[in-house]
Structure 1
């Protein structure tokens, strides 16, 4: 423990050298040590959540640029061990705070308090009375508030559903979400001052994870993707449970070389609009690179360069490759070329200009 200042300094130096930590945010990171917000019982996210031993392993994890799982299965014992709350990797925290573009006098609403580290960093930068943070899990909110108070800060910590924001302290100049959403909630737009920004991770089915930066004006939020992020979904935005796949419908075909752009954030955004409801992930099975597709209604596909298997009523691999071909003909646009408009008519994804919706 006596060596944490050196560990902290080394981490912050590395974040600054990489460009993740803006110079105007470094004093806040120095004033708010990460270890003050990490409980003793934590997990490392690997193929599954692996417990971290107390002592040097814990300290090494805390002062590495690594996310830390702080809750499994919404806090219920005996579950499957799925991560449901975490402390984000420091480079991501720094990059998002930099993208928030705050200045003195701004009021900020944070959706997803988690461990409280982000709220404390905002308080160190802006002053506690200008920060409101909302957490849906009562136990997580209570522990976060305790850690924040111990660190010397006193933002308003609210136990509530973050989808509704928190109208009592509105309007806010900035809204930042530390959980992904399928759609930007209307309450966030209503509670953001004209000219303010909403910074939120968009989490759709097709392996996406785009960070949206939306300016609010006249009841509309509009802006572009500003990079890729991976966050746990807001609880009310979690996907529906998948329907079982009937193995008897298996249809084999020759293997396929998976193009690199299939796993790009640009294609993930494009496919999320053109192929709503289809989910994708990729990895390795028995040492062989593989893509998995499913639609939550009982269709699925597995793809390797050796063979393709499709299941259920839809040929998902055929649908994906057809849409991917259109994406390539459009120039294989990067994620930053896509934008989102949210208004009373709903949420729309567009390419290069709001006048060119992706449909």
Structure 2
């Protein structure tokens, strides 16, 4: 194990205090012991990327800055562009070490007990698997990583820390049946649908804990309890934003991936502000995303359009329909809408928002999801017998 100096120990102690304040409750002593023994900096690569602009930070060139990022309660990007060379300085995050507060929050929600077997999806740096292995002991943790380079590095880091967690290079959506059945499954990547293997490889009464994402909004955790009949059910909680599982990615990143010069949109108007459904109200965004599971959105600030300060773009994930809603920065009760394709997306957004308001503006923790044995995902409010309206594409409730 890499030696730890006074600076590292001081940084760890300071971070534990910050994390405890963030969680609002004392850290479980077993997890605190794991945190102190399993040093986060030992699992980070020599080069990381930080901030919104993904600024490179090298341990060799800037050791103090690198250590500061290692022990800040923030996510640290550990890979960009899936490990490929950067073209035209276009950088996007493809792997990160999650913020320690969300790591400990999820580990606490997982509720592991002595003797449990755990399957982790998304090894990343290996730090999360290391914390689990420290708590549970040898032979109890299997972690699956789709990226071969990351899998190798996680294996080396775990070995260097003297911890026994088995790293499998493969598609995390398939789980790892040979190591099951598991008492707990935890994902460190977000999903838009829960892979069936995670449920079938979990013991009845076991827990599957996954970060959630809709194309509309990346936010939330879903904690499912497996029923033993091929299904699972549980509530969301309002925490986290993780990178999407690679096998569930869509190629939509900007409006130009959808809009074509040949498209002739229809013009209309709306009184619903685009900011109400895609602005600062996370609860509203979460609800809209649950009701419209195949609709993606992105803001376009300062478009080259006279009188328009910003524009909200919407599109179906299959790129067959799109809409744009303009704000002029002055009017608050009327906005121009442009739409193209077989679906009128803004009308469905209005319907989703109206339903959410009519339901009392419920926060994320009042929503739940049931995965039935055939794989159908049923979203509900408060209880499973109260499903939310179906406003998305056929096949998703």
Which of 21, 25, 28 is 1:17 aligned to? 21
Give the direction of change, closer, same or farther, for the CA distance of 1:262–1:105 in structure 2 (3 Å limit). Answer: same
**1:303, distance to aligned residue in structure 2 (A):** 3.9
Structure 1 unpaired stretches of 5+: none
Which of 350, 355, 358 is 2:380 aligned to? 350
Find out whether 1:98 has 2:108 as its counterpart: yes
**1:298, distance to aligned residue in structure 2 (A):** 4.7
Q: Are the equivalent residues in 1 in contact too, given 2:122–2:188 (CA < 8 A)?
A: yes
Find out whether 1:7 has 2:4 as its counterpart: no
**1:228, distance to aligned residue in structure 2 (A):** 2.7
Could you give the per-residue CA deviations for residues 68-113 of structure 1, whole angstroms, max 9, x where no partner exists?
1111111111343211111111111111111111111111100000
Find out whether 1:52 has 2:57 as its counterpart: yes
Match in the other structure for 2:172: 162
TM-score (norm 2): 0.83
Which of 214, 219, 244 is 2:258 aligned to? 244
Give the direction of change, closer, same or farther, for the CA distance of 1:256–1:274 in structure 2 (3 Å limit). Answer: closer
**1:252, distance to aligned residue in structure 2 (A):** 7.2
* Partners of 2:22 and 2:81 in 1: CA distance: 34
**1:194, distance to aligned residue in structure 2 (A):** 1.0
Give the direction of change, closer, same or farther, for the CA distance of 1:155–1:205 in structure 2 (3 Å limit). Answer: same
* Partners of 1:273 and 1:14 in 2: CA distance: 32
Q: Are the equivalent residues in 1 in contact too, given 2:277–2:288 (CA < 8 A)?
A: no
RMSD, aligned CA: 2.5
Could you give the per-residue CA deviations for residues 114-165 of structure 1, whole angstroms, max 9, x where no partner exists?
0000000111111131111010111100001101111111211111111011
**1:22, distance to aligned residue in structure 2 (A):** 2.3
Q: Are the equivalent residues in 2 in contact too, given 1:210–1:265 (CA < 8 A)?
A: no
Which of 196, 201, 217 is 1:191 aligned to? 201
Q: Are the equivalent residues in 2 in contact too, given 1:291–1:302 (CA < 8 A)?
A: yes
Which of 308, 315, 332 is 1:294 aligned to? 315
Match in the other structure for 1:64: 72
- The SS at the match of 2:139 is helix
TM-score (norm 1): 0.91
* Partners of 2:19 and 2:56 in 1: CA distance: 26
* Partners of 1:131 and 1:308 in 2: CA distance: 53
**1:237, distance to aligned residue in structure 2 (A):** 0.8
- The SS at the match of 2:232 is strand
Residues 271-310 of structure 1 mapped to structure 2, 5 A cutoff: 271-282=288-299, 285=302, 291-295=312-316, 296-304=319-327, 306=329, 308-310=336-338
The worse-fitting range, judged by mean Cα deviation, of 50-59 and 310-319 is 310-319
- The SS at the match of 1:129 is coil
Structure 2 unpaired stretches of 5+: 330-334, 391-397
* Partners of 1:347 and 1:256 in 2: CA distance: 29
Could you give the per-residue CA deviations for residues 247-275 of structure 1, whole angstroms, max 9, x where no partner exists?
66364758864565655444344323433
Q: Are the equivalent residues in 1 in contact too, given 2:276–2:284 (CA < 8 A)?
A: no
Match in the other structure for 2:393: none
* Partners of 2:313 and 2:14 in 1: CA distance: 39
Which of 42, 45, 49 is 2:48 aligned to? 42
* Partners of 1:78 and 1:2 in 2: CA distance: 37
Residues 122-137 of structure 1 mapped to structure 2, 5 A cutoff: 122-137=132-147
**1:171, distance to aligned residue in structure 2 (A):** 1.0
